[in-house]
Structure 1
Amino acid sequence: MKILVPIDDSEPARTALRYAHETFPESEITALHVIPVEGYWGAFADDPESIPGHEKAREHAENLLKEARDEIDAGVEMRVVTGHVAPEIVDFAGKGEFDAVVIGSHGRTGATRILLGSVAETVARRSPVPVTIVR
């Protein structure tokens, strides 16, 4: 079984990784971090990797993934992509022949959820594979 776990700087993301590792101990787990491309650069950049600060963001992402992998002390494939977060996760899940996505959620409700959106909700609605949302 192949499990995709999107990772960011949040505790819910780390909780999702621990959950995936504990619930599916024999699975191949891929931790994915999406470097977000938004605003001006997101609209006009032909090559997301040419965006100012991208190299520093990639370095941060790789460190984040290494820390997450070390926390669960297990073999986890680490991947970094650049783009709009939810669509990149959905696209990666579809192309990677994954059996499931395990994603953390902040559990926001009301106006905060409307204003900030919900990556987990968007992934759950659009994913081509089953999604488990962990809080």
Structure 2
Amino acid sequence: MEFKKILIGIDDSHQSEKAAAYGFALAKLLGAEVGLVEVIEPMIVPPLSTGIVGGEMDMLNNLPPVQVMNAQDASAKNVMQHYVMQYRAEHNITQFLETGDAATVVVDTALKFQADLIVVGSHARTGFSRFFTGSVSEDVARHTEIPVLVVPMKDKD
């Protein structure tokens, strides 16, 4: 099997940095094209105050929904630009900035990009922590026929 197109899922985490490093190194080694996908997951802000003075949710409650969406969009564009600037000297990068459920968007984008491999990072959590936070990398692997390279990172890393 040849890997001619590699899609790398990115966000603003250390796990993403590690996964991107693996994905870009593999792409360089194989002479593969690279696609980057950054997913904006719509934030649901409860309509009532949390009662935590100065808390993040209280700040979000005071913003109109369009401002929250604009802030998320700006943050995602900054993350994408960070990776493009870091790796563009050695790679031609196709960029995907999408909105929706992260796992679903990564799988759909891999199909659109015609990826031969998907690279994503993982928090390497187990037990209750994994159950509570979910696992995008696990959902991606379960819902695609495209091979998935999951780059683990333990919380202590």
Residues 103/96 of structure 1: CA separation in 2 closer, same or farther (3 Å cut): same
Deviation of the 1:57 alpha carbon: 1.5
1:34 is matched with: 39
Residue ranges of structure 1 left out of the alignment (5+ in a row): 41-50
Identical amino acids, percent of aligned pairs:
32
Compute the displacement of 1:56 (Å). Answer: 2.3
Q: Does 2:16 correspond to 1:13?
A: yes
Of 80, 84, 103, the match for 1:65? 80
Deviations 1:39-80 (A, max 9, x none): 47xxxxxxxxxx522222122111111112223343322210
Q: What CA distance in whole angstroms lies between the structure 2 residues aligned with 1:24 and 1:85?
A: 23
Equivalent of 1:89, from 106, 110, 125?
106
In structure 2, how many angstroms separate the alpha carbons of the residues matched to 1:37 and 1:63? 17
Q: Distance in 2 between matches of 1:54 and 1:112?
A: 27
Task: Say how many residue pairs are matched.
Answer: 126
Q: Which has the larger radius of gyration?
A: 2
CA distance in 1, matches of 2:71, 2:43: 16
Task: Calculate the aligned-residue CA RMSD, in Å.
Answer: 1.8
Paired residue for 2:155? none
Which consecutive unaligned segments of at least 5 residues does structure 2 have?
46-64, 153-157
Name the counterpart of 2:94.
77
